[in-house]
Structure 1
Amino acid sequence: MNFYVILSIVFTCVPFTQQAHHEFDLLIFTQNWPATVCKEWKKMDPMHKCSMPHKNDAWSIHGIWPTKLGTIGPAFCNRTWFFDPEKIRPIEDKLLEEWTNIFNGTSNYALWAHEWNKHGTCAAILEPLNSEYKYFSMGLDWLEKYSMGKILNEANIVPSNSKDYHITDINDAIKSALNIDPAIECRKIDGQSFITEIRICFTKDLKLSNCDGVLARRMIGQDSIITNCDGSKNIVYPHYKENSLYIQLYKLVTWLQWFTL
């Protein structure tokens, strides 16, 4: 059974209990590029299909991840506080559009359950994120305010299947817009480097912060950049076309998948 599916079994939500051993330093807000996620998914198995955001060339939310510098996590801070889809019902349509599960064949509820169970229960130590509804709403708010699509577009960095970009151009565009150092993730597929995620960081009082300590810095030319991307090669920022499926149809299929597990 899919790991996300296992984590998605619905239980009654119970109050969050403080857990001092799950302290963290930063919140990482991660946006992913669906075209690259889809390429990776299909690379694993050519029969895989992708469920792309219905907006043309839109970045999607991956998650909000509490993180202690120099390590990974914490994670799964309250294993009795399970995801309840009823708690996010008022914003479900927005989540389907902007916090999309690219992996066709698994439900959006499974993705959201994984993000809440693993990361949300840790973020919930902070009052603005101390419920399922607040956690997912904050992701939607941050995507609207800090959309990587808008930031890159304003720097004339746009998705293309014929043009690529240097990591410094992408990094500089984000730093210029937000005045912080982001973390940029790439994936190597068939010998090419594809942008897959852009992460921006926040302090525990929800102020933008440099992402130092999240990933190792690389010296690329004269620049020190927080990235795993290869600075010797340009990065592909691939274009994808709008999903032809209607969002309401996909919502129905997702609902049926969830309740027939």
Structure 2
Amino acid sequence: MGMLKSSVAFLVLAFAFFFCYVMSSGSYDYFQFVQQWPPTNCRVRNKPCSKPRPLQNFTIHGLWPSNYSNPTTPSKCTGSRFKKENVYPQLRSKMKISWPDVESGNDTRFWESEWNKHGTCSEDTLNQVQYFQRSHAMWRSHNVTEILRNASIVPHPTQTWSYSDIVSPIKTATKRTPLLRCKYDKKTQLLHEVVFCYEYNALKQIDCNRTAAAGCKNPQAISFQ
């Protein structure tokens, strides 16, 4: 009986060490490239955004190394901290368009937060400069706002769409299945994020249908305002 308890204790301890290793070292399966709709951000947050009228185009939220078993991990890994000088002037100008802080207006702090929380976990694949360059290139490769507009899906105060209504034109344009995430304002399900998935090296886009990350509630109607 004593040996059994010792074995169980050893296994629990070993799992704990393994979990800590995964969290700190940045073991991951794929990337989530997350774009957000600024008006939804500003509508559901507790205090007003810095700009009276939010941007009317999808902007980058982040590039997140993720695991299929738990897409919220890894995060805050042991890697180099954000260095402002790595965002050189030309890259900075691009990112102020593709990756602005739509809530408080402090772009540099937003980039720092995303790198320290997510970028550090894939630093063996993408260093800081590459991480931001690749994210901007992903944003440019498929203009989600334009894709939806071409499918007559544009912000509207009362019209709603189904999950498949929104996914279908994006899938047609990218040849890959995206993931949609929503936020709630009372009982209204608002489109918040469009997620593209990329393989381990962040070069090839893949379907997002293996991820267990929570998305919009389907088949509940989705509002895009």
Contact 2:26 2:120 in 1 (8 A): no
| Residue identity (%) | 26
Cα deviations by residue, 1:9-46 (Å, 9 ceiling, x for unpaired): xxxxxxxxxx99422110110000000001012xx24x
Alpha-carbon distance in 2 for matches of 1:52, 1:170? 27
**Which structure is larger by alpha-carbon Rg, 1 or 2?**
2
Q: Does residue 1:147 correspond to 2:143, yes or no?
A: yes
Alpha-carbon distance in 1 for matches of 2:40, 2:66? 24
Alpha-carbon distance in 1 for matches of 2:52, 2:143? 17
Q: Does residue 1:31 correspond to 2:18, yes or no?
A: no
* 1:209 counterpart residue number: 206
Q: Does residue 1:229 correspond to 2:216, yes or no?
A: yes
Ranges in structure 1 where 5+ consecutive residues have no aligned partner: 1-18, 217-226, 239-261
Contact 1:53 1:98 in 2 (8 A): no
Contact 1:183 1:215 in 2 (8 A): no
Q: 1:181 aligns with which of 177, 180, 199?
A: 177
RMSD of aligned residue pairs (Cα, Å):
2.2
Alignment of 1:90-105 (within 5 A): 90=89, 91-104=91-104
Q: Secondary structure at the match of 1:65?
A: strand
* 2:186 counterpart residue number: 190
Contact 1:24 1:66 in 2 (8 A): yes
Q: What residue identity is the alignment partner of 1:24?
A: Y
Q: Secondary structure at the match of 2:87?
A: helix
Contact 2:60 2:100 in 1 (8 A): yes
Instruction: Say how many residue pairs are matched.
Output: 200
Cα deviations by residue, 1:101-125 (Å, 9 ceiling, x for unpaired): 1222x62221111111111112221
* 1:68 counterpart residue number: 67
* 1:169 counterpart residue number: 165
Q: Residues 209, 181 of structure 1: CA spacing in aligned structure 2 closer, same or farther, 3 A cutoff?
A: same
Alpha-carbon distance in 2 for matches of 1:52, 1:134? 33
Alpha-carbon distance in 1 for matches of 2:77, 2:40? 30
Contact 1:202 1:209 in 2 (8 A): yes
Q: Secondary structure at the match of 1:114?
A: helix
Q: Secondary structure at the match of 2:63?
A: strand
Alpha-carbon distance in 1 for matches of 2:52, 2:58? 10
Q: TM-score, normalised by structure 2?
A: 0.81
Q: What residue identity is the alignment partner of 2:37?
A: W
Ranges in structure 2 where 5+ consecutive residues have no aligned partner: 1-22
Q: What residue identity is the alignment partner of 1:195?
A: L
1:161 deviation in Å? 2.2
1:53 deviation in Å? 8.9
Q: Residues 94, 185 of structure 1: CA spacing in aligned structure 2 closer, same or farther, 3 A cutoff?
A: same
